[in-house]
Amino acid sequence: MEVIFHWCILGKFHRKAAWAMVAICLSLMGTLAWSQEPARPTIDLAEFVQRLLPLESDASDQTDLYESLLLLYTNPLDLNQATREELAATYVLSEAQLNALMAYRQAVGPFLSVYELQAIDGFDLPSIFDLLPFVTVQPPRMGLRTGWVQPTQHFLMVRSGKLLEQQKGFSAIDTNARSNTRYLGPAWNGYIRYRKSRTGLYSLGFTIEKDAGERPWNWSPKRQIFGPDFTSFHAQVLNRGRVKNLLLGDYQLQVGQGLVFAAGFSLGMGSEVIRSTYRSTLGLRPYTSALEANYMRGLAATIRVGPRLDVTLLGSSTRRDGSLDQAVADPNEAVISSLVGSGYHRTAAERDKHGNISEQNIGFHSLYRLKSQQGQLGLTSLYTHYGIKIQRKAQPYNYYEFSGADHWVLGLHGDYHWQNFHFFGEGARSQSGGIGAVGGLIAGLGKTVDFTFLLRHYDKDFHTFYGQSLAESSRPINEDGTYWGLRYSPSRKWQFSSYYDYFSFPWLKYLVNAPSQGYSYFLHARYKPHKRFSAYLLFQQKNKERNLPNSEASLVPLVETERRSAVLHMQWDKPMKYVLRTRIQYGAFRYIGYSESRGFTVVQDATWKFAKGELSGRLAFFKTDNYDSRQYVYEKDMLYAFSIPAYYDTGTRHYLLLKYNLSNDLRLWLRWSQTRYQHLDSISSGLNSIAGKTRSEIKAQLLYQF
């Protein structure tokens, strides 16, 4: 069958004639296509994320992205049903490739096999290999009853782990010390996940999680605490007549460019310099992460009102963690001084904040699709009510922050495709009158050059609680920016990428006592002579203004800071045998005019694959002047786990990870990791501190597939 496809591709026909010939070939081979559908390749999602975001400063920022990609990997897109938006969210295909795939499907008809990707103009083997883990070709859609007994995914997973060294929070109380606070629960952490689903039909699942130091059991339904520290559940039905999507339980909504509703499908600024500017409209998604914030809990539905018009309605009633304080006007009135999203409930003070604030949401989204998937227009609205009024602490940088118990935000988004140009944008207005706006384009300038441009503007009083559009800051507020991205692929072996981003903050920020500005740029070169070896070299620099630390001046001056990073990464891969990765990483940070902090890391990873599993390990040496030049490097971890520790001081980091198939249905993971520091006598701080120079962790995980 594969030979026939190559014959169809290589024939020197007019494009329409070639498509017709491919269709004839497919019809002749139709009875064999589904039976010969290849198994989807496995993927190391941590390594995939590292390629997209090779330099990171905080692991928690990308956990939601990892969960979203994992959800996509475990529920692959059907090439015959997937929309352009869903395919774009894989971050694999260029604008020209998306156009070619849509045109091929419209001209030839339904795919019979993923082998057909080879027949699409502009699809090279590296792109196909990157896409295969996220797509499949399924038989014609079956009924719900049949799909229930033939799920595409059905598993139960249990994981636990603990630090081998004792943290202060688990030690005996020192009666001579000022503080006698300790963690209330045991030192081990626990995680349970169950899911049963059939792509395009339904999904049912729950997640249970307990962090180290939290009590294993607590029952407080009024605060939505149902035994374990965090519980999450969802039940979803898809494509039942006019009901396109019905979700009960925990969920997220991803529409437009993320000004009003945003889920985890966002890259930010990284080595994917082109598609990072655009966010796909994916609609309602079940929430499966263990992150204890930024999700809704209730009922939501998307209804097909017309052939090209969908309407989504949602209602949510959940609980949030918050720090309470006295109101400025009335000391007897309690107000929320800040919302807490860490998810930790280990001490008495943290437990008091657990679910202590009620939050209700009512939302609306309508989406009108233009003909032939040329574009779409959408309208969004979200009303939020808190049981207690929010009033930030009286600091100058909080002057324009949201204050009150009720809030609404209204947005309008759209995008349009013309040839290899993709125009997109979104504007929103919050109750305060603040405006947020994003607009840009992605262009395929021939087969070798891709270009993107994005403008963003967020008023200092623009407020959005569930929005997360592209920004230098962690939230889209008080920022203006311009982003340019360029990618040049002269051959299949070489690819060069770069971006430049300028940003300014019209009002004050935390630790920035005046309006400020900055810029960043990124250079990336990738070399892949064949599928067994790849390498990339990158450089990134970011300059931004901050308060001068330890200043004794009455008015603390702003000083420009500079952070520079460089990485050389190489990988050797022998299929079904081994993978070797070598990484050299350098970083430096300084307040311009003052001394510079430098650091580097040398990492060697190895994975050996055998009949019943694989064994992976790492040896790393790091040296930094101080915490300012710390190094973050992704680590291979268990399925559904994500690890990116900070390397600082001078020392070594190593781990061993065993994955073993006990049977066809039962898999086991065991992981041991350790960091050794040369100069530290105490690791971390507060109740997390460890006396000594070593920090070690063990974890175990079992996955049963029904």
3-class secondary-structure state, position 484: strand
CA 625 – CA 641 distance, rounded (Å): 30
Question: ∠285-161-231 over CA atoms, to 5°?
Answer: 35
* Residue ranges with strand state E in 419-557: 421-430, 435-445, 449-458, 479-488, 494-505, 516-530, 533-547
Tell which wins on pLDDT, 529 or 90: 529
Crossing angle for the helix pair 60-74 and 45-52, to the nearest 10 degrees: 120
Q: Which residues pair with 312 in a beta bridge?
A: 302, 365
pLDDT band at 24 (very low <50, low <70, confident <90, very high): very low
CA 107 – CA 16 distance, rounded (Å): 8
CA 90 – CA 528 distance, rounded (Å): 21
Report how far apart the first and last C-alpha atoms of the chain are (Å, whole number).
Answer: 32
| pLDDT (0 to 100) of residue 610 | 94
Statement: residue 410 has pLDDT above 70:
yes
3-class secondary-structure state, position 280: coil
- The string of DSSP codes covering 620-637 is EEEEESSGGG-EE--B--
Residues 6+ apart with CB under 8 A from 683: 675, 677, 689, 690, 692, 693, 694, 695
| pLDDT (0 to 100) of residue 554 | 81
Global pTM value: 0.89
| pLDDT (0 to 100) of residue 62 | 63
| pLDDT (0 to 100) of residue 384 | 98
Residue-level length of the chain: 706
| pLDDT (0 to 100) of residue 514 | 95
Asked if residues 169 and 213 have their Cβ atoms less than 8 Å apart, the reply is yes
Give 350-409 as a 3 state SS string.
HHHCCCCEEEEEEEEEEEEECHHHCEEEEEEEEEEEEEEEECCCCCHHHCCCCCEEEEEE
Asked if residues 104 and 114 have their Cβ atoms less than 8 Å apart, the reply is no
CA 6 – CA 11 distance, rounded (Å): 9
CA 478 – CA 433 distance, rounded (Å): 13
CA 342 – CA 634 distance, rounded (Å): 21
Is the Cα torsion angle 428, 87, 133, 494 positive or negative in sign? negative
Statement: residue 4 has pLDDT above 50:
no
Statement: residue 437 has pLDDT above 70:
yes
Asked if residues 44 and 636 have their Cβ atoms less than 8 Å apart, the reply is yes
Of the candidates 368, 257, 263, which has an alpha carbon nearest to the alpha carbon of residue 312?
368
Statement: residue 47 has pLDDT above 80:
no
* Helices (H) then strands (E): counts for the chain: 10, 34
* pLDDT digit string, tens, across residues 254-295: 999 999 999 866 667 888 899 989 999 999 999 998 889 889
Tell which wins on pLDDT, 47 or 173: 173
CA 475 – CA 258 distance, rounded (Å): 11
Statement: residue 33 has pLDDT above 80:
no
pLDDT band at 23 (very low <50, low <70, confident <90, very high): very low
Q: Is 343 left (phi over 0), alpha (psi -120 to 50) or beta?
A: left
Provide the token pair at 158.
């249990």
Provide the token pair at 221.
């339904």
CA 220 – CA 547 distance, rounded (Å): 44
Mean pLDDT (the chain, rounded): 89
Tell which wins on pLDDT, 458 or 134: 458
**Which burial class, exposed, middle or buried, applies to 247 when counting CB atoms under 10 A from its CB (0-12, 13-18, 19+)?**
buried
pLDDT band at 39 (very low <50, low <70, confident <90, very high): low
CA 466 – CA 475 distance, rounded (Å): 10
| pLDDT (0 to 100) of residue 483 | 97
CA 673 – CA 682 distance, rounded (Å): 18
| pLDDT (0 to 100) of residue 446 | 85
Tell which wins on pLDDT, 53 or 651: 651
Instruction: Count the alpha carbons within 13 Å of 80 in the hemisphere toward its beta carbon.
Output: 15
**Which burial class, exposed, middle or buried, applies to 668 when counting CB atoms under 10 A from its CB (0-12, 13-18, 19+)?**
middle
Q: How many CB atoms lie within 10 A of CB 407?
A: 20
3-class secondary-structure state, position 694: strand
Q: Which residue in the block uniquely carries the two structure tokens 């097909």?
A: 304
* pLDDT digit string, tens, across residues 486-495: 999 999 899 9
| DSSP H or E stretch at residue 131 | helix 125-131
Percent of all residues in the chain with a pLDDT value above 70, rounded to a whole number:
90
| DSSP H or E stretch at residue 153 | strand 153-163
CA 336 – CA 466 distance, rounded (Å): 18
pLDDT band at 29 (very low <50, low <70, confident <90, very high): very low
Of the candidates 655, 554, 704, 610, which has an alpha carbon nearest to the alpha carbon of residue 154?
704
Statement: residue 1 has pLDDT above 90:
no
Give the type of residue at 425: G
Question: ∠263-267-268 over CA atoms, to 5°?
Answer: 105
pLDDT band at 300 (very low <50, low <70, confident <90, very high): very high
Q: What's the rounded mean pLDDT across residues 537-544? A: 96
How far is the CA of 526 from the CAs of 98, 467, 494, 630, in angstroms? 22, 33, 6, 25
Instruction: Count the alpha carbons within 13 Å of 208 in the hemisphere toward its beta carbon.
Output: 15
Q: What's the rounded mean pLDDT across residues 5-23? A: 42
